[in-house]
Amino acid sequence: MYRNRFERYMGELTARLFRLYGSRWDFHLVLSDLVALMDEAAGERDPGLLARDADAEREADWFLRETGVGLTLYVDLFAGDFSGLEARIPDLRRLGITYAHLMPLFRSPEAHNDGGYAVSSYRETDPRLGSMKDLRRVASRFHEAGIALAIDFVFNHTSDEHEWALAAKRGEKEFRDYYRIFPEKEEADEWNRTLREIFPDTRRGSFTFVEAAGGWVWTTFNSFQWDLNYANPRVFLAMCREMLFLANLGVDALRLDALAFVWKKKGSDCENLEEAHLLIQAFQFVARIVAPSMVFKSEAIVHPDEVIRYIGVDECRLSYNPLQMALFWEATATRSARLLRHSLSRRWAVPEGTGWVNYIRCHDDIGWTFSDEDAREAGIDGFEHRKFLNRFYTGRFEGSFARGEAFQLNPETGDCRVCGTLASLCGLEEAAELHAAGDARAELYADMAVARMLMLFGALFALPGLPLLYAGDETASLNDGSWKADAVKRLDSRWVHRKARKPMREGTFWDSREDGGDPWLSERRLRVFTGLQNIIAARKAESGLGKTGIRFFDAGDDAVLGFSRAGGKITVLANFSDRRVPCRPGFIPPSVDLLTSEPFGEGDSFALGPYRALWLKER
């Protein structure tokens, strides 16, 4: 099988590498070394993974099926360590999880590690989680339970404590060339002129002076994360070796972290360059030859038009859908789905055999990545609208129900992103505060918060693609304010939604001890959890919600997002407002709501309640 794939795809791989490195005198040596490391990795692939490889083409659309449900989690926060995670597999199965993305697992600096995204070794796990042997066992247990394993491939940068960076600090030229290190500040300044600042609250510009390295090191994100120099083909070869090592652990999907930044070209913004696509495609063909059952997932939090360019069977078959995520929150704040419907209807289509990963929250912040062009067509000033959304979700807008934190506030522009859990951003934290104060409004506010969450889940799980939950949101976990008292975490507000769980009681998915003994809050969180369970069961039972077909339509009121699935036989309506929305007679044929089994007759007029989602299937 390996030789057949090699003969089938090596030409495609070589063509991409030639465009990147073909002008080098040693290009033939690069190819020779690449073939050798692919041969070695293929020979180390165990029988179980070879069997999955044999099924790869037949099972190629596994992430598009109606049975697919994903969960993103930090192993330490969710279960303590790998053994704890293994013990919780029955809980994952009961919830219906078929895809588990384990956040960064590998050795990183003790203090400055960006939540694990500053990798010191791709071959060693964080010892607090367990060993590489333990991780391999978890992957095997996941497969036995029908759960695909996804992990991060942090390939734009390494930690400044990685062995390559340490060698560069020692002055070893081979490894200095693994990074971009400029002895003179003028050279760094010349590059900086065309680059945007990603973490302006942390450091100005994209370079850090490192005395031990004797110059200015390219650090797009944090100063301790050194960008790799992919203009050097030896870096590509080294990272291919690390990627294939991860593939041979039993990984089914690799999330390509910060993939928009991997190629640098002077005079450009060094984002979304054509060479970046060629590089990712080259990695993809290496993986397709050696480990075809592993797919790539794009993490491109850039302009919506650029996000789509990373999606393809020869690049990333899966992609986060940051436009859908951001506009779910935009519609929730404005009580209008107009911009959401307009943008998604224009920008949903992806190539056959690929799909979106749809989500409401994740480990990261919320950035307002909608298109200004789309906003103008909807009569919205994009710049001012982002300012409003930031104020709304960080509690600086009168009447807001959200309890969020600003992330990376730019002191010059006032721009920022937003952090917080689903429940706190939807108003449950506000309701809990009112309840604690004895305010009679607490009941109504809590009911609305629960309804918002279930409406968002209802809309999310009806979309084509893979719905992805962020651990803690399935149980309506509130923000964790302890991050502000931590000397390291207080510099990164994303820790507000990176919350450790109490040890689980036997046979439960969630422990009410998290609520400090407050049965009022526990009861409302339980309503969210059981409501979500119902939504997941309804999705898994309806084959028409699989595959990719979707059509967005105007539901007659801007508060309502409307779309149809299964060739028009399933109509989905989601009311993003706190008012009842009348639906005109004859709007739908005789149908039944798949979420409640409630019948709707032909010619009936009805009102869609506040924050309600319907999945109406023709009878």
Tell me the catalytic residues.
257, 299
Which ranges of 148-273 does DSSP label H, i.e. alpha helix?
163-169, 173-176, 185-192, 233-247
CA distance 466 to 332: 22
CA distance 360 to 472: 12
CA distance 421 to 77: 14
Beta-ladder partners of 182: 216
CA distance 518 to 495: 23
Question: Residue 1: helix, strand or coil by DSSP?
Answer: coil
Closest by CA to 248, choosing from 296, 215, 290, is 290
CA distance from start to end of the chain: 47
Closest by CA to 375, choosing from 408, 345, 342, 419, is 342
Helix (H) or strand (E) holding 230: none
Closest by CA to 71, choosing from 361, 478, 411, is 361
CA distance 246 to 131: 14
Please check whether residue 375 is in contact with residue 483, taking contact to mean a CB–CB distance below 8 angstroms: no
User: What backbone phi and psi angles, to 5 degrees, belong to 235?
Assistant: -70, -45
Strands (E), 315-400: 318-320, 355-359
